[in-house]
């Protein structure tokens, strides 16, 4: 081995960097020999092309690539380098440097947490044109809906209890022909139509429909009190008598007057 390859290779650092250095020295030694040197004395000059070619062949060996990081590690290192530069830039642009940046980040996190706690998880609110139907595909009687509501209430499932009791109200009005049987009717539509026949209960019908929509589509949780309000409305509607229509009330005095004459 030449003096260059022997002495400097012996003093090269260990590890992957040292391996590459030793490879370069071996390539240089090979180039020296290829250039006609004896190996005992280094030549004064080494041609550029033979040296480059020898270095390329030497460093292409698998030995010098065993300790290199893989593709994932290189990508991870590049990401952390980019994140570090980004944070350094943000810290330099923020009053107070790194401490100021930490304060700003904590403030933003606190604001987001407060909004999340106040508003809850965002949910799509139903519209009048896209509200789902009140009933499912399988028709059931008012008594069946009441029985299902009581079963849910006994287990403390207030959401399902409210839904079934509202369905019992609407089905009962349909069975009494106070509402026409119409598939696809919503709770709001049923309350508005029933209020024309039972005006004394209009406000309670609308409140029950809102409770049904909030539970079914708005993501809110029903309570025991809300269920009992709807159940009481159901019982009151069973005893309620429909109001006479405007045409009936307007023609009744005329008929009575004609009979008197």
pTM over 0.85: no
Confidence of residue 149 (pLDDT cuts 50, 70, 90): very high
Do 205 and 195 touch, CB atoms closer than 8 A? yes
Average pLDDT over residues 148-168: 93
Residue 176 or 36, more confident:
176
pLDDT at 166 over 50: yes
Pair of tokens at residue 74: 């290189």
Q: Which of 10-19, 23-32, 97-106, 217-226 has the lowest average pLDDT?
A: 10-19
Query: What is the structure's pLDDT at 226?
Result: 93
What pLDDT sits at residue 36? 53
**CB neighbour list of residue 206: distance below 8 Å, 6 or more residues apart:** 188, 191, 192, 195
Q: What are the backbone dihedrals phi and psi of residue 168, each rounded to the nearest 5 degrees, phi first?
A: -65, -40
Place of tokens 């994932």: 72
Q: What is the mean pLDDT of residues 57-74?
A: 71
Per-residue confidence (pLDDT) for residue 5, from 0 to 100: 46
Report CA-CA distances (Å) from 17 to 4, 20, 46, 217: 18, 5, 24, 64
C-alpha dist (Å) from residue 225 to 15, 47, 124, 185, 232: 75, 96, 26, 26, 11
**What per-residue confidence (pLDDT) applies to 4?**
46
pLDDT digits (tens, 9 = 90+) for 73-116: 888 888 888 877 877 777 777 676 677 777 777 878 888 887 77
């Amino acid at each position: 081995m030449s003096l260059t390859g022997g002495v400097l290779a012996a003093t090269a650092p260990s590890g992957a960097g040292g391996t590459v250095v030793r490879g370069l020295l071996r390539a240089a030694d090979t180039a020296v020999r290829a250039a006609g040197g004896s190996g005992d004395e280094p030549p004064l000059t080494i041609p550029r092309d033979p040296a480059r070619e020898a270095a390329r062949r030497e460093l292409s060996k698998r030995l010098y690539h065993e300790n290199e990081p893989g593709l994932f590690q290189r990508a991870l290192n590049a990401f952390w380098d980019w994140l570090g530069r980004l944070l350094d830039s943000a810290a330099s642009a923020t009053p107070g440097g790194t401490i100021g940046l930490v304060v700003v980040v904590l403030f933003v996190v606190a604001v987001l947490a407060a909004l999340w706690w106040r508003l809850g998880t965002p949910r799509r609110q139903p519209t009048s044109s896209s509200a789902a139907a009140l009933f499912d595909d399988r028709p059931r009687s008012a008594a069946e809906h009441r029985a299902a509501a009581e079963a849910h209430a006994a287990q403390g499932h207030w959401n399902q209890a409210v839904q079934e009791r509202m369905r019992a109200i609407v089905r009962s009005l349909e069975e009494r022909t106070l509402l026409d049987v119409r598939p696809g009717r919503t709770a709001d539509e049923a309350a508005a139509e029933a209020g024309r026949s039972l005006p004394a209960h209009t406000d309670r019908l609308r409140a029950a429909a809102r409770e049904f929509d909030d539970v079914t589509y708005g993501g809110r949780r029903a309570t025991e009190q809300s269920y009992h309000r709807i159940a009481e409305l159901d019982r009151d509607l069973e005893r309620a008598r429909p109001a006479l229509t405007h045409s009936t009330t307007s023609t009744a005095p005329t008929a009575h007057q004609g009979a008197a004459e």
